[in-house]
Amino acid sequence: MDSNAAHVQTDLGEWALVDDQAEVVASVSTSTERSSGCAPAEESASEEPTVAAAPVAQSAEGAAECEAEVAALSTAAAAADLPTEAAPAVPDGCLRIVDDFVAEFFADAVAEGKKVRLIYMGMLLIHDRAMGEYGIEDDGVLHCASQQHLNLKGLANPANALLVATGAGLYSLWALLYHFPHLFSWKAIAVLSALSAAHVSTAVARFTAA
């Protein structure tokens, strides 16, 4: 029995030794094939640049397209901003006509027949001009002068030609009386004075509104 047990232990020890050597040999052969194999290494080396080159080319093309789009958008934005810079905002008060301003704020004086004049920094504002032409801003100070409106009739009216001629004749007679008083008697002077008074009253009634 002792010999059989010893034989079994010896066999088991030999099997264990054989198995250990097999594992060592197998591991060594596997690592040797991995380290010394040339074909797989060449294939991996040849495949790696091919796989990496395509994404690099695609990324370069995409970057160029993005830069072109950004440049186009920036150019369009700059072109869109130009009209805004070239046309600044104008206050509403600067676009108002002088007549409209007078009619709004001096309606009572206009209804009474008065003539309203606006003065800004010593300048008389013309009725049909815009207030912005004189540099007036929304907070500007205006001076107002109002007086009774005189409705004068035109001197070029043919009906006034006789009145103008009569006035010129009377003026000539008064000038002659001044230089040559001995040529006029007191009756002539009285008649000339009466005619002159009648002429003045007629002229005032003619050229002014009743």
* Confidence at residue 143, expressed as pLDDT on a 0 to 100 scale: 80
* Confidence at residue 204, expressed as pLDDT on a 0 to 100 scale: 84
* Confidence at residue 35, expressed as pLDDT on a 0 to 100 scale: 44
* Confidence at residue 210, expressed as pLDDT on a 0 to 100 scale: 44
* Confidence at residue 135, expressed as pLDDT on a 0 to 100 scale: 80
Give per-residue pLDDT as tens, 4-41.
Answer: 544 444 444 444 444 444 454 444 444 444 444 444 44
Identify the CA nearest to 148 among candidates 113, 107, 104.
113
Q: Which CATH class is domain 91-149?
A: alpha beta
Q: Which residues pair with 123 in a beta bridge?
A: 120
Continuous segment of H or E residues that includes residue 88: none
* Confidence at residue 63, expressed as pLDDT on a 0 to 100 scale: 61
Give the residue carrying structure tokens 């540099």. 135
CB contact at 8 A, 131 and 170: no
* Confidence at residue 150, expressed as pLDDT on a 0 to 100 scale: 59
* Confidence at residue 6, expressed as pLDDT on a 0 to 100 scale: 47
Instruction: Tell me the residue ranges of DSSP E strands in the chain.
Output: 114-120, 123-124, 143-148
Low-confidence ranges of the chain (pLDDT < 50): 1-2, 5-22, 24-57, 82-90, 209-210
* Confidence at residue 193, expressed as pLDDT on a 0 to 100 scale: 95
* Confidence at residue 64, expressed as pLDDT on a 0 to 100 scale: 66
Rounded (5°) CA angle 82-83-86: 85
* Confidence at residue 196, expressed as pLDDT on a 0 to 100 scale: 95
CB contact at 8 A, 144 and 108: no
pTM: 0.31
Tell me the domain boundaries of the chain: 91-149, 153-208
